[in-house]
Structure 1
Amino acid sequence: MILDNRGLEPPQPMMRTLTKLGNLHVGETITIINDRRPMFLYEELNELGYLHNTDALEDGSFKITITKSGE
Structure 2
Amino acid sequence: MTEYIDVDVRPILRAGGEPFSVIMAALDRLEPGQGLRLYATFKPVPLFAVMANKGFASSEQALDGGEWEVLFTPVAANPECARAADTNSGFDNWPEPAVQLDNRDLDPPEPMVRILAAADKLGPGETLSALLRREPVFLFPQLEKRGFHWLGGFTPDGVTYELTVRAPL
Is the pair's TM-score, using the shorter chain for normalization, greater than 0.5? Answer: yes
Task: Give the TM-score normalised by the residue count of structure 1.
Answer: 0.91
**1:49 lines up with 2:147 in the alignment:** yes
Tell me the distance in 2 between the aligned counterparts of 1:44 and 1:7.
22
- Aligned counterpart, 1:64: 163
After superposing on structure 2, the runs of 4+ consecutive aligned residues of structure 1 that deviate more than 4 Å are: none
Of the candidates 112, 120, 123, which is equivalent to residue 25 of structure 1?
Answer: 123
Tell me the distance in 1 between the aligned counterparts of 2:127 and 2:102.
14
Tell me the distance in 2 between the aligned counterparts of 1:59 and 1:43.
23
Question: Of Structure 1 and Structure 2, which has the larger fraction of its residues in helix?
Answer: 2
- Aligned counterpart, 1:8: 106
Higher relative contact order (CA 8 A, sep 6+): 1
Count of matched residue positions in the alignment of Structure 1 and Structure 2: 70
Deviations 1:9-62 (A, max 9, x none): 000100111111121011100001110100010010111110100021125110
Asked if structure 1 preserves the Cα contact closer than 8 Å seen for 2:126 and 2:167, the reply is yes
Structure 1 unaligned blocks of 5 or more: none
